[in-house]
Amino acid sequence: QKEVEQNSGPLSVPEGAIASLNCTYSDRGSQSFFWYRQYSGKSPELIMSIYSNGDKEDGRFTAQLNKASQYVSLLIRDSQPSDSATYLCAVKETSYDKVIFGPGTSLSVIP
């Protein structure tokens, strides 16, 4: 079973700061990477998908992918208290018809 690893946190940042969430994966051939946000007691919500090396920006969110280092990250600029949630990294592996989810990083944005 391939693995997806994330720091469990909690990660605390002040309001307005940049939050940086990191994820590493074990399958070098992985091609698709997803970030989900999950509020406490709720289901995951897809916020970003990235497939190519480099950066992908969507509003205050930037996903960064480095396949050589098997590393994907999510940056949240101008963090807001409403960003406080658990962020799940998910990786689609080449040899499986499924997506592997990491355990999630808990983010707390302090007003």
Partner 1 sequence: DGGITQSPKYLFRKEGQNVTLSCEQNLNHDAMYWYRQDPGQGLRLIYYSQIVNDFQKGDIAEGYSVSREKKESFPLTVTSAQKNPTAFYLCASSIDPPGLRNNEQFFGPGTRLTVL
Q: Shortest Cβ distance from residue 105 to partner 1 (Å)?
A: 11
Q: Which is nearer to partner 1, 20 or 38 (CB)?
A: 38
Give the span between the Cα atoms of 11 and 35, in whole angstroms. 16
Q: Which is nearer to partner 1, 17 or 49 (CB)?
A: 49
Write the CB contacts of 57 (distance below 8 Å, at least 6 apart in sequence).
Answer: none
Q: Shortest Cβ distance from residue 76 to partner 1 (Å)?
A: 20
Q: Shortest Cβ distance from residue 102 to partner 1 (Å)?
A: 5
Q: Which is nearer to partner 1, 43 or 69 (CB)?
A: 43
Which tokens hold the place of 35?
């970030």
Q: Which is nearer to partner 1, 32 or 66 (CB)?
A: 32
Provide the binding-site residues for partner 1, judged by CB under 8 A: 1, 4, 8, 31-32, 34, 42-46, 49, 51, 88, 92, 97-104
Exposure pattern of 15-28 as b/e (b: 16+ CB <10 Å)?
A: eeeebebbbbbebe
